[in-house]
Amino acid sequence: MTKKTSQSQFSPWVCRAAFPLVSGSFYLTQIALAYSVHRDWIWLSIPLMLLASHFMHGLLIGFHEASHGCLRKSHFLNELDGILVGILSYTSLTLYRALHQSHHVHFATEKDAELWPFVQVDSPLWLRRLAAFTELNFGLFFTPFLFWRGFFGKDSDIRNKKLRRRIWMELILAVVFWIVAIAVVARFQLWPWYFWNYFAPAFIAGNLQSWRKYIEHVGLSGNTARSATRSIVADTWSGHFVSMMLLHEPLHGIHHLQAKLPHFELPRHIDKLEPTEDGDTVPFPNYRAAIADLLRKLPDPKAGSQWEKASRAKA
């Protein structure tokens, strides 16, 4: 890995400002989109909606950062941002935090609820294909299902009463918010703005998040940060810019090595992605290469080293 590709091409203060840049750009895009819808400028509404979906995807990554307590220095603002994005994406921040911590602890093993059913060696191929099709095309709904399944399931690992009480409170808050929001939309006939400013970009952003998740983990046969993660180390200025606007999420292997590192610190640790053992994944230079690798393995979607162990046991 060359020095050119081992560091962000942007100064530290710019990297630190990535989330404010994403959220600020999102709000400006929303204002422009609302005006475009008001004027019935479909030719402008479509590209603005697509741009809004990109920024929404960035906000979802911010939600992930908030779950680690790394989005804001202020704990209050970190939780506030996380809860707001969680409400808009039908997921509780506290629930996401609990199951995501389990994802790190039981990474790519059969106890990894985030990668269900791809880590379950007894899951039939048809179920894994159905889950992949649903998640990649209806991520806005499948991702909340995945997390609420981990809460309401009879074998839920979330047993702490205080934790469950907070999750229930966040769920009630979300339900009340959406009842009021839909009532206001219906009362004032705001359906065009609901569709263009929220639903359409949120639907696309949910799918973008799902595809990114699959690029990161699905189709790999390890259970370590390097062997079960595809990381992208950009080799162009545009690639570095995209990485920054995605809060350096493409450097995902570093996150699994040091989960408490804030996103703006990740580019300083790219050397940690160098393979050290057989089976480690070599970082990809761009998303095109990573997607190509995923697509080769997507017909039989699975994750984790347990699949090879099960195959050897049967043999």
Domain boundaries, the chain: 15-230+284-314
Q: How far apart are CA 23 and CA 63, in angstroms?
A: 12
What are 32-44's pLDDT values in tens digits?
A: 999 999 999 999 9
Check pLDDT > 50 for residue 229. Answer: yes
Q: How far apart are CA 223 and CA 229, in angstroms?
A: 9
Q: How far apart are CA 93 and CA 246, in angstroms?
A: 19
Kindly tell me the sign of the dihedral angle through the C-alpha atoms of 220, 223, 227, 229: positive
Q: How far apart are CA 147 and CA 164, in angstroms?
A: 13
Average pLDDT, the chain: 94
Q: What is the pLDDT of residue 270?
A: 92
Angle at 214 between CA 92 and CA 88, to 5 degrees: 25
Check pLDDT > 50 for residue 193. Answer: yes
